[in-house]
Amino acid sequence: MKVAFIGMGTMGAAMALNLLKAGHEVTVHNRNRQREEPVAAAGATRAATPAQAAQGAEVIVTCVSDTPDVEGVLLGPQGVISGASAGAVVVDTSTISPGATRRLAAALAEQGVGMIDAPMSGGSEGAEKGTLVFMVGGAEADLNKALPVLQAMGKRITHVGPIGAGQVTKAINQVILAGYYLSTAEGMALGLKAGLDMEKVVQAISGGACDSWVLNFRSNNMIHNRYPLGFRVSLHRKDLRIALEAAGEIGAALPLAGMVAQIENGLVDRGFGDEDISALARPMRELSGIKD
Amino acid sequence: MKVAFIGMGTMGAAMALNLLKAGHEVTVHNRNRQREEPVAAAGATRAATPAQAAQGAEVIVTCVSDTPDVEGVLLGPQGVISGASAGAVVVDTSTISPGATRRLAAALAEQGVGMIDAPMSGGSEGAEKGTLVFMVGGAEADLNKALPVLQAMGKRITHVGPIGAGQVTKAINQVILAGYYLSTAEGMALGLKAGLDMEKVVQAISGGACDSWVLNFRSNNMIHNRYPLGFRVSLHRKDLRIALEAAGEIGAALPLAGMVAQIENGLVDRGFGDEDISALARPMRELSGIKD
């Protein structure tokens, strides 16, 4: 298929490479044009603007940071809307506001351009290996057009509801994760303070009711007080802000996610924003006075 | 082996049956003597007191509710200490205070009786199927004597450290679970309030970073606002009390577990103590005004 890909960050570049591997014809664009180079070297065409990238594309993938970035790329000057043909489908893999997503889709629909929201989880490792998990909102017909593209980048694609539902699902994912990281950190701090061999403890409990991806793959960071990426605290804080705003709009209460967002504010301010989210163990260790 | 088993609750009775199946010679005792009957019918001998049950036993298993119960069964009048032979090993599978465990072991040691703490997870289903997870504290020699007994009841036995370390590990397990249940409940409430098909949402996110036993096996209770057992809120509250007391003794801070314990106080007071812990979704749903 003819695919445009806008946003050559760590995630986007890896995903575009998987599209090329799967035999798609890929045109890429990034605000900082230099970041297009590695993917162009692998066979992608470069475009000077989102509009130019979108010209003639059947599917237009966006993978940028936040709500205003997606708005700019889609509707701004030289945005996708100026170049896309009627019948094309935009696949936004960014994590942004569900409400803004619905407004963007409505604006594109006026030009005959479809849109699905397809935020993802799985991190940079999932992007490289093509094992991302996509949570999709939108019309079934639009998803069907985009399916070969999503399948080249991910291992699991779940259609959860109408436009925006993918973003709400991603918000739920981030809200749940907030408590899982904090709770695992609290458990690790208790054991460290008690002087236990925490690797044995994790081995003992990981087969039971608190079995989780976070316990299995991130408790070790917390035990050793080192937090290599992973997924950045600053990005999770951004995602929680979106979740908390969306919750405010519909009248849902998220006390635990709100608390974790506040704790993350402190981490970011202290210069830990580029560490993995498991750095939530820092304040929990500090509360109990645990040294490295 | 000659095994005494004290405490014929739902868990204890199922565990004693597995000991009989594995060919051990089992003597049972329960405060309410009637509860000995089903296990006696399967081939166990009945004893009128803990002391009598312990006579001649190589391994003495205790499975009762709380710290004072274990103290009474081991050191009280007609307790295990009055009947056990030097060289016997007590295996306490109850969830109780780590500090009290160390004191009980010291008192037994004066009579030449060994003790390991072996709290478990896996619930009544694990007890029936013999797939419990044991977290063991104590001397290696004592664990080795008790190993055939533990192996007949569980699938995973991890030696985490000296006497009391099993109880601290169980406390860590319950502290982590507290946050996992609350966080999962918060995520489910957000999605219900947004009107999403929550079974699809769970399917979408369960393969990613918030994959967990709680999400996979308990979110459905939260979605449908029905909380069949499982593991009782009232018992988890008891376990959190032990964890919070133990944390207080060593100067560890557990803010999230403390908050969940407070929420569980409300649930128990309102008559939900016999529901599964996933009933933590009740107050989270209520905060967002979600109807059944």
Mode of pairing for the β-strands spanning B89-92 and B59-62: parallel
* Domain final position from A145, A163, A181: A163
B194 three-class SS: coil
Q: Which residue type sits at B171?
A: A
Q: How crowded is residue B41: how many other Cβ atoms within 10 Å of its Cβ?
A: 8
Q: Judge whether A291 is closer than 8 Å to chain B, CB to CB.
A: no
Closest CA to B284 of B213, B209, B218: B218
Tokens standing for B190?
């957000």
In the prediction, which pLDDT does B271 show?
A: 98
* Domain final position from B124, B147, B163: B163
Helix runs in A84-226, H state only: 98-109, 123-129, 140-153, 165-193, 198-205, 213-224
Mean pLDDT taken over chain B:
97
What sign for the dihedral angle of Cα A122, B200, B289, B254?
Answer: negative
Tokens standing for A107?
């604006």
Residues B155, B172, single domain; the answer is no
In the prediction, which pLDDT does B123 show?
A: 85
Residues B8, B149, single domain; the answer is yes
A175 chain-B contacts, CB cut-off 8 A: 183, 186-187, 190
Flag if A209 and B177 touch (Cβ within 8 Å).
yes
Of A121, A123, A168, the CB nearest to B194: A168
Q: Rounded to an integer, what distance in angstroms lies between the CA atom of residue B244 and that of residue B189?
A: 27
Q: Is pLDDT at A110 greater than 80 in this prediction?
A: yes
* Count of residues making up chain B: 292
Asked if residue A215 belongs to a domain, the reply is yes
Q: How far is A76 from chain B, CA to nearest CA, in Å? A: 29
Q: Judge whether A18 is closer than 8 Å to chain B, CB to CB.
A: no
The vertex-B246 CA angle with A261 and B259, nearest 5°, equals 30
B210 chain-A contacts, CB cut-off 8 A: 173, 176-177, 180, 212-214
- ipTM summary value: 0.95
Residues B182, B268, single domain; the answer is yes
The domain total for chain B is: 2
Flag if B186 and A203 touch (Cβ within 8 Å).
no
Phi/psi for B82 (5° steps) reads -80, -15
The answer to whether A261 touches A178, Cβ cutoff 8 Å, is yes
Q: Is pLDDT at B122 greater than 90 in this prediction?
A: no
Q: Rounded to an integer, what distance in angstroms lies between the CA atom of residue B95 and that of residue B120?
A: 8
Mode of pairing for the β-strands spanning A154-161 and A132-137: parallel
Q: How crowded is residue B38: how many other Cβ atoms within 10 Å of its Cβ?
A: 15
The range of the structural domain enclosing residue A136 comes to 2-163
Helices A165-193 and A198-205: angle between axes, nearest 10 degrees:
130
In the prediction, which pLDDT does B159 show?
A: 98
Annotated catalytic residue, options A129, A155, A170, A238: A170
Asked if residue B18 belongs to a domain, the reply is yes
Helices A213-224 and A198-205: angle between axes, nearest 10 degrees:
170
What sign for the dihedral angle of Cα B90, B94, B98, B104?
Answer: negative
Of B159, B172, B213, the CB nearest to A187: B172
What one-character DSSP code corresponds to residue B85?
P
Asked if residue A226 belongs to a domain, the reply is yes
Closest CA to A188 of B190, B149, B92, B253: B253
Of B98, B177, B205, the CB nearest to A169: B205
The answer to whether A145 touches A89, Cβ cutoff 8 Å, is yes
What one-character DSSP code corresponds to residue A208?
S
- β-sheet bridge partners, residue B59: B3, B89
Closest CA to A282 of A210, A235, A247, A233: A233
Q: Judge whether A271 is closer than 8 Å to chain B, CB to CB.
A: no
A171 chain-B contacts, CB cut-off 8 A: 190
Residue partners of A20: CB distance under 8 A and separation at least 6: A26, A39, A42, A43, A44
Average pLDDT over residues B248-277: 98
Asked if residue B292 belongs to a domain, the reply is no
Residues A175, A146, single domain; the answer is no
In the prediction, which pLDDT does A230 show?
A: 84
Q: Which residue type sits at B100?
A: A
Q: Is pLDDT at A111 greater than 90 in this prediction?
A: yes
In the prediction, which pLDDT does A59 show?
A: 98
Average pLDDT over residues B188-197: 98
Instruction: Output helix, strand, coil percentages for chain A, rounded to the nearest 5.
Output: 55, 15, 30
Asked if residue A233 belongs to a domain, the reply is yes
B98 chain-A contacts, CB cut-off 8 A: 194
Tokens 């600053």, residue located: A234
Annotated catalytic residue, options B21, B129, B155, B170: B170
% of chain A surpassing 70 pLDDT: 100
User: How far lies A96's CA from each of A177, A249, B154, in Å?
Assistant: 17, 14, 46
Residues A179, A151, single domain; the answer is no
Q: Is pLDDT at A208 greater than 90 in this prediction?
A: no
Asked if residue A40 belongs to a domain, the reply is yes
Flag if B256 and A175 touch (Cβ within 8 Å).
no
Q: Rounded to an integer, what distance in angstroms lies between the CA atom of residue A193 and that of residue A289?
A: 8
Q: Is pLDDT at A292 greater than 90 in this prediction?
A: no
Residues B195, B123, single domain; the answer is no
B287 chain-A contacts, CB cut-off 8 A: 253, 255
Residues A110, A200, single domain; the answer is no
* Domain final position from A116, A140, A163: A163
Residue partners of A49: CB distance under 8 A and separation at least 6: A29, A78, A83
Residues A33, A121, single domain; the answer is yes
Average pLDDT over residues B12-19: 98
Asked if residue A292 belongs to a domain, the reply is no
Q: Is pLDDT at A283 greater than 90 in this prediction?
A: yes
B202 three-class SS: helix
Mean pLDDT taken over chain A:
97
Q: How crowded is residue A249: how many other Cβ atoms within 10 Å of its Cβ?
A: 12
Q: Which residue type sits at A154?
A: G
A40 pLDDT band, cuts 50/70/90, is: very high
B223 three-class SS: helix
Residues B178, B141, single domain; the answer is no
Q: Is pLDDT at A254 greater than 90 in this prediction?
A: yes
Residues B155, B179, single domain; the answer is no
B170 has catalytic annotation: yes
Q: Domain of A244: which CATH number?
A: 1.10.1040.10
Q: Is pLDDT at B257 greater than 90 in this prediction?
A: yes
Digit-coded pLDDT (tens) for B264-290: 999 999 999 999 999 999 999 999 999
Q: Domain of A84: which CATH number?
A: 3.40.50.720
Residues B64, B189, single domain; the answer is no
The answer to whether A84 touches A29, Cβ cutoff 8 Å, is no
Q: Which residue of B has its CA nearest to A118?
A: B204
Asked if residue A153 belongs to a domain, the reply is yes
Q: Is pLDDT at A10 greater than 80 in this prediction?
A: yes
Query: Given its phi and psi angles, is residue B85 left (phi above 0), alpha (psi -120 to 50 degrees) or beta?
Result: beta
Residues B114, B195, single domain; the answer is no
